[in-house]
Structure 1
Amino acid sequence: MEPPKHPLPGRHGSGPALRPKTHRPPQVLGLVVPLLLLGGVELAVRAGLVEGRLLPAPTEVLSALFGLGAADVAGHVAASSGRVAIGFLAGALLALGVGALVGLSRLAEALLDPLFQALRAIPSLAWVPLLLLWLGIDEAPKLVLIGIGAFFPVYMGTVAGIRDVDRKLVELARLYGLSGVALVRRVLLPAAAPAVLTGLRNGLSLAWMFMVAAELIAATHGLGYLLTDGREMGRADLVFAAILLLAALGKLSDGLMRRWETRALAWRDSVGATPR
């Protein structure tokens, strides 16, 4: 039996392997389902199938937003966004440092990880009365609560990323004389980067969720305040307007974080990586 005249690509000495081209669907497809849902709700309310007092039509929600005025809406958005930005940065930076320490040190893991795993199980609203007692009703408890929400996903991602680094990479780096800070900077951190960046994205999402609980603490501006105000006045349109703004801001911030993640991990050659 004669050997094949054209050897399979990717074998030793047969040239470079063929990489399958991956085509991503256009991002505009992500709007199809939300637009269909909004259109369905609009038709259901107009046809009387759903009570508009409980589930307002999307056009009524937009009317409620326009009724508030651009200045008021911008003020609520700016207040909430500023709190999320400050709380997320503080919580994420602390989580990166503590997570790296726990991931690199078995002693730190034994001392700190059980405590953080227990604190992670505490619901967001359970922190509110304690923070009110400790920090009063100013901005401090709101920022601390958002920071708590951002801390744990980033901490978990950092610890998991460092622990999951292939031991062979570390052994190879040591053969080349790397140790200490150089080993961490050139091997451990790049290898752990995908898990760390995923933790950052999850932490940002949770920071937006904790922001709503934070703005229940005597807030006078913000989307959480707008939710509470709409509930107290019995206005479902205001409640849904605040929810839609939260969804839009969360999607926008996650999209920016995802773009940064794609650029930071451009060196990856994985199935989900964007083709270069």
Structure 2
Amino acid sequence: MKLDFRPWVIPVVLVVVWEIIVRLEVISASLFPSPLTIVETGWNLLVNGDLMTHIGVSLWRALTGMLIGGVIGFVLGVLNGLSKKSYIYLDTTIQMIRNIPHLALIPLVIVWIGIGEDAKIFLVALGVLFPIYVNTFHGIRNVDPNLVEMGRMYNLKGWSLFKDVLLPGALPSIFVGLRYALGVMWLTLIIAETIPTNEGLGYLATNAREFMQTDVIILSIIIYALLGKLADLIAQFGENRALKWNASYTK
């Protein structure tokens, strides 16, 4: 497989310009350390084991919340997409909750759940639930009726009709929701990890702020960005594999 490095041209150029600006002392290195300084800081944290510990904790929180919120959003999307009665009873309530900024609930979540892991996972799950719900719902509703009718002509019904016609037809929309939800997942986790804790990338950045360690703060932000990009690449790979039958996804 041929690797395409073109998407990384602009990030690399920005890093080089960043290094040059710091070396020319256009900005203070104490406030905005150079990329090489940040790499050195990251290496030191990696060697002593702290970095992988914090990354592991953050990944566990993110993936657990994603799994819980994603499953709930997918089930609700399928249910409301297939059943008019379910849509009438549930969609209005879901939409009302969706329009409440979930990060604004942090004070209430702390009062209700506390400051432990459950609070952070709950916020991530709540954040990813709605993008997956909305896109799953619209994906199911927008499947070509002619395909559904054709499936019925071949005596497909119930689970068979859903598995062979409705779900494949809805997958493009579902994957859009998944990729959007992954971005929301990391955004929510960054804020959720400001809730008092002693592990995770958020703790690493918050603790560094107390000691004015800007290199550690920027390192934490970069790791969040790289993890977000990695998650999107994995989702994109899964999307291309699952939809290789779709003409829009063929090379």
Output one character per residue of 1:139-178: Cα deviation in whole Å (capped at 9) or x when no partner.
1111111111111111111011011111121222223332
Match of 2:159 in 1: 181
Match of 2:31 in 1: 54
1:35 pairs with 2:12: yes
| Aligned 1:33-182 pairs, distance under 5 A | 33-70=10-47, 71-182=49-160
Contact kept? 2:103, 2:123, Cα under 8 Å: no
1:262 pairs with 2:240: yes
Output one character per residue of 1:204-223: Cα deviation in whole Å (capped at 9) or x when no partner.
22111111122122211111
Q: Distance in 1 between matches of 2:33 and 2:92?
A: 46
Output one character per residue of 1:216-257: Cα deviation in whole Å (capped at 9) or x when no partner.
222111111122122222222111100111111111122112
Q: Distance in 1 between matches of 2:102 and 2:57?
A: 20
Contact kept? 1:96, 1:155, Cα under 8 Å: yes
Output one character per residue of 1:56-95: Cα deviation in whole Å (capped at 9) or x when no partner.
2111212222343430000111010111111111111111
Structure 1 stretches of 4+ moved >4 Å: none
Contact kept? 2:132, 2:174, Cα under 8 Å: yes
CA shift, 1:54, in A, is 2.9
Q: Distance in 2 between matches of 1:169 and 1:236?
A: 56
Contact kept? 1:124, 1:213, Cα under 8 Å: no
Q: Distance in 1 between matches of 2:199 and 2:183?
A: 20
In the superposition, relative to structure 1, how do residues 31 and 116 fare at CA in structure 2: closer, same or farther (>3 Å)? same
Give the aligned CA root-mean-square deviation in angstroms: 1.8
5+ residue gaps, structure 1: 1-23
Letter in 2 for 1:48: E
* 3-state DSSP of counterpart to 2:218: helix
In the superposition, relative to structure 1, how do residues 36 and 150 fare at CA in structure 2: closer, same or farther (>3 Å)? same
Q: What TM-score does the superposition give when structure 1 sets the normalisation length?
A: 0.85
5+ residue gaps, structure 2: none
Q: Specify which of 153, 156, 170 is matched with residue 192 of structure 1.
A: 170
Q: Distance in 2 between matches of 1:189 and 1:54?
A: 51
Larger % of helix: which? 2
Greater Rg by CA: 1
Q: Distance in 2 between matches of 1:86 and 1:167?
A: 36
Identity rate, percent: 37
In the superposition, relative to structure 1, how do residues 155 and 74 fare at CA in structure 2: closer, same or farther (>3 Å)? same
Match of 2:187 in 1: 209
Match of 1:234 in 2: 212
Match of 1:12 in 2: none
Letter in 2 for 1:79: V
* 3-state DSSP of counterpart to 1:266: coil
Q: What TM-score does the superposition give when structure 2 sets the normalisation length?
A: 0.93
Task: Tell me which moved more, 66-75 or 156-165.
Answer: 66-75
Task: Tell me which moved more, 176-185 or 93-102.
Answer: 176-185
Contact kept? 2:131, 2:181, Cα under 8 Å: yes
